[in-house]
Every structure is written in C-alpha cells, then in structure tokens.
Structure 1
Amino acid sequence: MNQNLISKQPLGHHAPNIGEMLFENCNQYGKLKAFGEREQGNYRFRTWREFGNHICDFSAFLQKSGVQQGQKVAFITSNNYSRLVAEMAVMSCGCISIPIFVAYSDDFLTQLLEFSPVDLLVIENQEKLCGLPPHVIPPMTILLEKGGASIGKTSKTDIKYMAEILSPQADVPFAAKQFRSIHPDVSSNDLAMIMFTSGTTSFPKGVQLTHGNILSQQKALQQLWKTKPGRRFLCYLPWHHSFGGLFERFFALYSGGCLAVDDSRGKFLDKLFENFADIKPHIYFSVPKVYQDIVTKTLIDKKADEMFFHKELEFVFTAAAPLTSTISNIFKAKNVPVVEGWGLTETSPCCTLTPLSLERQPGVVGFPIPGVAIKLGEEDEILVKGPNVMGGYYNNPEATAKVFTKDGWFKTGDIGGITDQGVKIISRKDRMFKLNNGEKVFPSTIEEAAKTQCIYIKNIYVGGKGQVYPHALVFPNQELLQAKEVKNPEMEDCACPKTLPDHAACLAKCIQEINQLNNKRYEHITKAILVDQELMLERGELTPSLKMVPRIIEENFQQQLTCLEGDQLSGLPVDSRVIPIGKE
C-alpha cells in the first residue's frame, strides 16, 4: 500500500516562465511554422517570428492600457490565432489567464465570472458579450471579431478590437530586444492560469497553476519523447480544458512544433478528415470517443482510412478516459503506437505515460513522468507529488484542504493499483456505489469491458445503487449500424447488426459473455436498456473532453432508469427497448 513509484529520470532544468520559453523558441525557430488556421477556406500559417512579434504587440497594448502584473484576464473564445497570441502575452506579462468554455450558457458564464471577477475580458464577438450582464463585464473588453449587435448602454466597458492591436506586417525578423524589455521577470512560482475543472459532480473548481507547474510537465514530455522541431499537430481539443489547453497546446509550443486548428471541433467528421489530409499531423491528440468515431469511419470508408493513417503519422495520444483494446488494436494493425496518459487539471495535467510502443495493457496508464512520484493511499486512492501539482483552488480553502494529505500528497480521487506495467486505473472514487448487500461496484470497469466486447456500443452507463445487481443504459454506434459494410478482421465473430432490434439481441449475447468472464457475480448486469439516442455535449451529458457526466445522464434518462430500478420495463419511452439478457 505504501509503495512509491518514482520516475528514474531526473527532470532537469527548464525555462523559469512561459515568456522565457517563448522567447527562446521565437529566437531559435524564427522562420519555421508555428501556427495554422483556415482563412477563406485555406490554411494560413504563421511563423515563429511572426508569433513572437504579435505577442510583443499585445504585451505593449497591455502595458499601455495599465494592466498590471498579477491581474486576471478571462478568455471566452474558441481556439484561434488571435486568442493564442493574447493568452501567451497575458501570461508572459505576469498576468493570470482564466480560460472559459465559449459554449457555456450565458447564465453559467455569469456564475463563473461572478466567482472569479476579472480585470480584462477577451471574448469572441459582440453577440457573446451581449449575453453577459453588465456587473460581470470588466472596464475593458477585447473583441476578436468585428461587427455584430450593439452591447447597448447598460455596459460601460471600453471595447478594443484585436485587429487594431496586432501589426499586419509581423513576419519580419523577431524583435528580441523588444520582447525582453517589455516582459517582466516572472517567477516560476507566480500564477499563470486559473483553469476550471469540468464540474462532473459539482460547481467547477478554479485550479491555480503556476508557470513552474506548466513548464515542468513540458520539460518532462520533451525528455521522454525527444520531439524534433517542426512537427505538425492538428488541434480541436478546447483550450479552456487541461488536455487541450495545457497538454497539447503547450507541448506543441514547447517543442517548436506547428499547431494547426481543426475547425471540426471533433464533431464534424468529414471536416476533421479534410483537415487531417491537409495538415498530415505527425502527432495527434484526442479522446476515446473521437477515436471511436474516427475508427468507425476508417472501417467503412477506404479513402478515410488512407487520409488518417498516412505515412508521416508517428503516434497518437489518448487521455480523459480509457481507450478500449477494440480501438487500440486497429492502430496496432496499422503500426501506429497509441500513447496513453493519466492525470487531472490539478496536476497540469499529466502524471503518467505509457511507452511509445505498439503493445498496450488495458487500464494501465504507465509510469510517472520525470519529477513526479505516485503512491496509494487509503482505499487505494492514487496520491501524487511533484512540481506539476497545483498550489490549491481559487477562493476555496476548504476544498484545497480536502485534497491534500498532511504531508503534502495530492489526493486524485482515482482508485487504482501499482503493477509491473505501471499505474492501473480502476475507477473514479465518486462513481463507486454499493449494492443492497453492501458490495462495492466500480461501474467504469464494467463499462470499459462492455465497450471492448462490442464496437457497436458508443456509450454505456452502469448504475444500480441499492439494487441486487447493476443495470445499464446502452447508447449505440449509429454510424456502424447504418453502414453497408464494416471491414475489421477482429469482428469475424460479430453478428454486425443493422437494426436496433438486431442490436438489442446481439447485445444480450455480448453482455452474457461479459458476465461469464467476470468472476464477481454481484457485478453481473442482469437488466439493460438500449436507448436510440446519442449522448450530447449540448445537453450537458458529456464534458468538453467528451467524458460522461453521470448526474446529468441520471436526470435526462430518469424514466429509463426508473423502469430498470422498478423492474417495470413495459413503460419505456418509444426510443428505448429492453435488452433480453435473461435471468442469472
């Protein structure tokens, strides 16, 4: 239980702050591509020197406007070049970035800005600004887009436009002296960002991250992967979230890569594949749900298969939830390594990585990165120490006290174990429930077993608190159900259902097989419902990183769950049908 897992590789030196890291890269990689995004249909690329000069432009604007070191700046925008410039300049000047998901409702944005008042607001457009009440809008606002509805007389904010701040002719030699002179001496211990958690179980908490937290992680990744400058990345992961905003974005910047925005947002597959064909990323970061969608398309579309598995693709990275072996085996067959990481927003976010190898062990997330130590605490909760761990939550000392042990270990809330292959994740502690006989059930384990067994399952929710056995809601992979032909050698024994009734019958057999493989009889699923819907981010059923939000699923599908718990399966909604598993 007290076994510590520590990286054998020392962390080594890294830049003291984000501004210094950017200065070094702009100096070193000047004419290399740093960023790309679509403009009028085609990708436009920005060089490192242009990026650095634009950071200087925005930093000079902040200085002229009287924005002081330590003040807070909120970003309510999508991923784009102007936002990247502004956010890097803000942190380089010693100010604190507060990235917020642009698709949140106006009411929820208001709550977050009330909780964490800001001194400057960078927002997508006037339409988005109009949805906010005057009392949360700071004295100055920067709009990334011109035009739109007037904000009216109720707001007294001074509006500036990004196009007026950045020089149109910035792809000239990097202004190194100006960059150095305009940016203050920021300490590694100074706050760089307050990043809100996903809020799957409660109101989001503001994670306070320093320059040292962020850069220590990037130094560790560079030591492990030794990525060469100029590598291309295709990015849809939102920057308000730790996976996209901390892990992917900063790794591309730290390693001297080119970060290209994927305007598919991980939702519109045709656009994603079009962007993939144009950029041909060397390294790709995504979450299991999107990998599932990608693999589905490659199985039914030969052209899509060729687009994605191009010759320059070095490896793909997955996190946020386990990637089933059904999906990872397809990458293995294509000779593309899948690297899996584990961590939380509070750990900047990565704590462990699996090796760059074609072989994967389900549920195992690898060994600690350099500088990080891991051990098991009470009830096998995973504890972490390292330079990547946050100092605490913003304006929430009670929550901060709860997540640290007396000797300074961070309590992750994940239940797991330490194996010869590294750390193994079992479940989130808060998802565990007890049956009526007192047995503990970790639903994540059952859910992953089901998705591994059947590629036709897109999502599955397992519940059953206080019941005799667990039960499940299954959400089908509509694309596979509707496909004319599915080419996958691993599916030779699959019935390949084409209709919902066929899928329900097929799932009954799959669930019976899962139950037979599980020697814990109390974990056997005895009742399940197939729901002809897809879980949606817009309804709050998925987080921005596309993980399930159990409490919202329980609310939105209460009628189905009530039928399962009361064994009244005749009163189901028309979009739901019983999966005939049979009695234990």
Structure 2
Amino acid sequence: MGNSESPARSVPDMFLSRVRESGDHEAFSFPVPNTTGAPEEWRSLTWSQTLDRVRNIALGLHTLGVTSQARCAIDASTRIEWILADLGVLCAGGAVTTIYPSSTPPDCAYIVSDSGSMVAFAEDAEQVAKLVDQRPRMPGLSKVVVFDGEGDGDWVMTLAELEARGAELATEQPDLFDELVDAVHPDHLATLIYTSGTTGRPKGVRLDHANWLYEAQAVHDLGEEVKAQGHDLMTGDDVQYLWLPLSHVFGKYMQVSQLRMGFRTAVDGRVDKIVDNLAIVRPTFMAAAPRIFEKVYNRVVMQAKEGGAAKFRIFTWAVGVGDRVARVREQGKEPTGLLALQHAVADRLVFSKLRARFGGRLKFFVSGSAPLAPEIGRFFYGAGVTILEGYGLTETSAGSFVNRPGDVRFGTVGLPMPGTEVRIAEDGEVLLRGGGVMRGYHNLSGATEEVLTEDGWFATGDIGVLEDGRLRITDRKKELIKTSGGKYVAPQGIESRFKSVCPYISNFIVHGDRRAYCVALVALDPEAIEVWAEDNGLGALNYSGLVDEPKVRQMVQEAIDVLNRDLPRHETIKKFAILPRELSVDEGEITPSLKMRRRAVEDKYRDLLDAMYEDSVRTV
C-alpha cells in the first residue's frame, strides 16, 4: 500500500490552504455559557475569522519569545480556545505539550518541566492555581495565559491580552506571520503528548508535523477509496461533533483531519452535555470511546424496561432482529424476505426512535481508545447506526486501522489506513510501520529503541491476528493473564463481552495472573443501577447500600453465569466482588480517555482480590 503524500509542508501550511479554499464557510461552532438561566447560545467562526484569531495568538506568542519548536503547554478541556491556542502555537513555529485538566498539580509540574514548556495556556482559575502552586518546580515557565479569568499583571495574562499584543505586532510587521509559517518544516516537533498510561509515569511522545500531515492525508485518501466503492466518509459538507479530550491523540487526530477535509466542527468537551448536544448539533459523524456507546445502550435498555413487560418484549424482539440484520450486513449483503419485513417493523417501533436521539443526520460514529463489544456494535448497526471501530496509539498518531462504511466487521479494527503497514511478530505482537509512527520518546534514553526498530517498525504492545487483512486485537501483551495452571487468559475480550450481557455495570475487571482461577471486580453504573433498584423494590437504597444487597449480587451472578456459558473452563469467572464506588479519573483508576488502569485498580483493591482466593486451594 503506497504512502499518503500530503500537498502541505506543515500543519500551519495545511491550515492556511484550508482558509484559502473555505474562507467564508463556517469552521467551528461552540457554546457560550449563559449565566441568566436562558438556553445556551451557540456561536460560530468562519475559517477567515479563525485565521484572524490564530494570527494574533501566534504573533502574541512571538512577543513572548516563542521560537522554532519551543514548547507551549495547554492545560484545558476541549473548547474552541484549545484549538485556537494549538494552531497559534504551531503557526508561531512552536510545539504543543498537552495536559489533561484532571491532572494533579505535581503531574502538571512534571509535564511542564520535562517538556521544557516556556508558556502554558490554562483554562481557568483552578488550572492557574495548579501551576502557581508548583511554580518553583517549573523554572522555565515564563508566562501563563488564562482562557477564563484575570491576569495578575506579571506571570499570568489573559488570552485577550495575548491576542491584543499579537494584533499590534501584525500592524507593525504585516509579513511576519507568513514568514513564521514558512519557516516550519515537516520534521519540526509539533506535538508532545504525554501518554496517560495504564501504569507508571507518563512518557512524552514526540509527533512532528509530518506525522499529522500523514494522518490528515490518509483520511483524505481513505475518503477517495470509500467513495469509489459507492460509500461516503467525510466531506466538506459534513458536521463533526468534537467532545473528545484534545489532550489525547484521538481528539487531536480528528482536529487535523478537519483541516484537510474542510468539514464543520461543533466543539464542546463537556461529557454530561453529549446527549443534549446531539439534538442541537445534529452531527453527521462523531468519534467516541466505547464507554459512551455502552452508556447509550444501557440507557436504551433501561428505558425499554421502564415501559413495562409488553414494551420490553417488543424491544427484545427488535434487538434480535437487528442482530440478524447486522450479521447479514457484515457479509456485504442486505436482508431479504421475512427478515427484511421484520426489520421494517422493528425499525418503525424501536430503531427510528433511537436514530432520532442522534439528531437525524448521523452517517456514522467512530470508536477508538478501547475495545468495543461486538454485541453492542451489532445492536447499533442493526438499528441503522454504523459504528466504525478503529485502532491506533499515541505513538502512531492515533489513526492506524479503521473499519470502512459498507465493510464493517465487528470484533476487528478493520483494514490499515492508506500508507500503514502491519505484521504480526512470532509472539503475536502487532508491529506497525508508516507515516504516523512517532519519532521517539522525549527525554527517555533507550525507551525509543525498545519499541522502534531502525527500519521503522513500532512494537505496539498489543496482541492481535490478521483475518483477510483485517486486524483483530485480542489483548495487551502486558495484560495477558497466566493462571497458576499455565493457561493463558485474555481479559479484555471477556470484560468487553460482559458489558453487553449486563447493562448495570460500568467496569468489569478480570483478575487471575499466577492465581488458581479467574475472579472479577465489578463497578456498578450509578444511573443504570438506580433504575434497576426502583424496579426491584430497592429504590430507597443509595449506591453504597446496593453494593451489599443480596439481590444485586444475585443479578450480577446471573449475568456472570451467562458469560461463563461461552467461555473455556480456565477463563470462567469463579468469584466476584462489587466495588464500593464507580472507578474514576480523579482516583487514578481510569485514564481521561476512559481506559482502565488495570494495575492501579488491582493494587487499590488487593485485599478484595486476595479474599476471593483465601479459602480455596483449587487449581485450573
């Protein structure tokens, strides 16, 4: 498969090309908080208006001493200012260091210091306070620019003040901005993303302009490939709803794809607003982590049950019909005869209502960051909502594989992106090579050489197999469980499957490495279990009360029994414990991109795990 060659020289060059082509067209829409209690107002920026603000930010940074590849950190949630600041840094010739707003003050200080960031953008007073608290540990940080808040006349300035400085310089030196953009080369550092990681201290991944140019061009080339097969990917007429953390590589990937393709993007990183915003934005596509689809699925199941026994029987029948239709479509066919008739009825009674929730214009979702349960994928596919599962890592600039419209295989992450090569090592590890692969880790001698060969092959740490060219990820290499009986267990697949069996849980953690058998930790979904409790006469109990309730244990046990029926004996879950609360980002148990930190969870609940083995000497 040939390499995807971008016509642009850098991300700023690609941005200016988009402005020239789409200047007066809408580029972004975004909500403006309303303190009066009235409905939120959404405003928009054209590409030309975006350029005006980006130019001012870039030149403002130039006055602060930002030069070629100088690092500037962004510590904020996903919002329009994040995108403007990112483009401003890149156009100034600098590189962006990303920081999750949920990071602790010491973590913020570590990333700022390790990256050598000289300027930091902070979302609000809370994020500024983290930096002020750690200022002695960041001697190289000369200025903080706050999005929402006040400056202090010294170390902290507002975004408006930065833009004003830039506007003044633009008047004095009208050619300077173009000169700065022209000086950016493909091999210059563009983004330094610190992997949130499932274990250990985060590693800074160095991604240059060429990485992002490859990814953006690969999306363009894939669109041409899909179009030739009679399907549609992304065009300039599409509307993206972007809520993904821009501190994460998946969100950044969707951002640069927009620059190449020219579609409009509605930006709002508030996760609790996703459902409401879908009806407002009415996107044609959206990228998300599987946890979002699991939550929607759970909510749909809950609401069907609330409708009474008759309504739930209709829903269950429709889901069965949809599953059969999804399997037919996975073979590249359409249902006929009785199945087609049944599907039309199921669509009218159930599925059309589901699609309406997404605004009525949705072409597809893109799922990444963690495995999507095939059963949940087929549920949506049978309902006329396509989820294109993809795969990539921070070290590969996110986009390495994806299922194509009209060619979906659930349980796989699809075919390689144009220009990406894959092979499977003798031990089953997935190896990748292509334009998206990082140039190396930052300030970590030897770490790059451990995963990247001289001829460009990157060792992903994932175990997988190729099926007709499509990649199926079976587990993380470091997370494979080996029982004391010598049997291997891949926990991710089991965990993913359980979420489709039991809609009342948010996380399911399989444990059993060097143990006699497998057990599980269960975190309940607060919303779903509340509905279940009402239906089962336990509405007076809160979450902590439900954890010890025998009826809840029975419900979970019955779901585990269903799961175990299809598992080999050594993979079956023999015991389980319900956790006292849902896993959280703040407690370090899941990453901001909603991946579980397995080792952190196991360490925190070591006593619970040990207790499930105390009275047993069984071996598998």
TM-score normalised by structure 1 residue count: 0.85
CA distance change for structure 1 residues 484 and 400 in 2, over 3 Å: closer, same or farther? closer
For the 8 Å contact 1:332–1:358, the answer to whether it is kept is no
Q: CA RMSD in A?
A: 2.9
Report whether the alignment pairs 1:15 with 2:8. Answer: yes
SS at 2:462 equivalent: strand
Please report how far the alpha carbon of residue 71 of structure 1 lies from its aligned counterpart in structure 2 after TM superposition.
Answer: 1.1
Change (3 A) 1:168 1:327: farther
The reply on whether 1:383 has 2:431 as its aligned counterpart is yes
Kindly report which structure 2 residues correspond to 1:161-240, keeping only aligned pairs within 5 A, or say none.
161-166=158-163, 179-225=177-223, 226-240=233-247
CA contact (8 A) 2:104 2:130 kept: no
For 1:90, the equivalent position in structure 2 comes to 89
Secondary structure at 1:365 match in 2:
coil
Question: Distance between the aligned counterparts of 1:424 and 1:124, measured in 2?
Answer: 39
3-state SS of paired residue (1:395): coil
Within the candidate set 263, 285, 288, 1:286 is matched to: 288
1:327 aligns with 2:324: no
Distance in 2 (CA, whole Å) between partners of 1:356 and 1:485 is: 39
Partner of 1:256: 262
Q: Is the 8 A contact 1:106 1:131 kept in 2?
A: yes
Q: Is the 8 A contact 1:56 1:178 kept in 2?
A: no
Is this contact kept in 2: 1:56–1:182, CA < 8 A? no
- Give the Cα–Cα distance (whole angstroms) in 1 for the partners of residues 591 and 466 of structure 2: 28
- Kindly state the Cα deviation for residue 178 of structure 1 after the two structures are TM-superposed: 6.9
Aligned to 1:361: 410
Q: 1:86 to 1:309 in 2, by over 3 A?
A: closer
Query: What does the per-residue CA deviation read over 1:48-98, in whole Å, with 9 as the maximum and x for residues that have no partner?
Result: 110011111112222333321121111112222223212112112321110
Q: Distance in 1 between matches of 2:358 and 2:121?
A: 37
Q: Cα gap change, 1:37/1:198 in structure 2, threshold over 3 Å: closer, same or farther? A: same
Matched residue of 2:587: which SS?
coil
Question: Any idea what SS the aligned residue of 2:295 has?
Answer: helix
Q: Is the 8 A contact 2:66 2:92 kept in 1?
A: no
Q: 1:532, 1:307 → 2: CA distance?
A: 36
Report the secondary structure of 1:566's partner residue: coil
Unaligned runs of 5+ in 1: 1-6, 152-156, 487-497, 569-581
Counterpart CA distance in 1 for 2:358 and 2:117 is 44
Give the C-alpha shift of residue 304 in structure 1: 8.6
Give the conservation status (yes or no) of the 8 Å contact 1:17–1:92.
no
How many angstroms does 1:484 deviate by? Answer: 7.0
**Whole-angstrom CA distance in 1 between matches of 2:164 and 2:380:** 44
- 8 Å CA contact 1:431–1:442 kept in 2: the answer is yes
Aligned to 1:351: 400
Percent identical among aligned pairs is 28
TM-score normalised by L of structure 2 = 0.81
Conserved 8 A contact 2:59-2:165: no
Shift of 1:190: 1.2
What is the distance in 1 between the residues matched to 2:526 and 2:86? 39
Counting matched residue pairs gives 537
Partner amino acid for 1:459?
N
One-letter amino acid of the structure 2 residue matched with residue 383 of structure 1: L
Counterparts of 1:141 and 1:479 in 2: how far apart (Å)?
Answer: 39
1:242 to 246, 249, 258: 249
1:371 aligned onto 2:419: yes
Residue of structure 1 equivalent to 2:553: 504
- Matched with 1:101 is 100
Q: Which residue of 2 aligns with 1:33?
A: 26
| CA–CA distance in structure 2, aligned partners of residues 12 and 401 of structure 1 | 27
- What is the match of residue 468 of structure 2? 420
Aligned to 1:127: 129
What SS is found at the alignment partner of 2:253? helix
Provide Cα deviations, 1:169-192, integer angstroms capped at 9, x if missing partner.
Answer: 99xxxx997753442332111111
Give matches, 1:471-550, under 5 Å.
471-483=519-531, 501-519=550-568, 521-550=569-598
Aligned to 2:610: 562
Aligned partners of 2:488, 2:419: CA distance in 1, in Å? 34
Determine if contact 2:30/2:44 at 8 Å carries over to the other structure: yes
Does the CA-based 8 Å contact 1:25-1:48 persist in structure 2? yes
Distance 1:357 1:541 in 2: 37
Letter of the structure 1 residue corresponding to residue 110 of structure 2: Q
Deviations, residues 340-368 of structure 1 (Å, cap 9, x unaligned):
11110000011111111384322x11111
The residue aligned with 1:444 is 492
Matches of 1:281 and 1:177 in 2, distance apart?
A: 38
1:301 Cα deviation from its structure 2 partner = 5.1
Distance 1:118 1:182 in 2: 19
Structure-1 separation of matches of 2:136 and 2:426: 47
Identify which range, 285-294 or 366-375, moves more after superposition: 285-294
Unaligned runs of 5+ in 2: 35-39, 168-172, 224-232, 305-351, 535-545
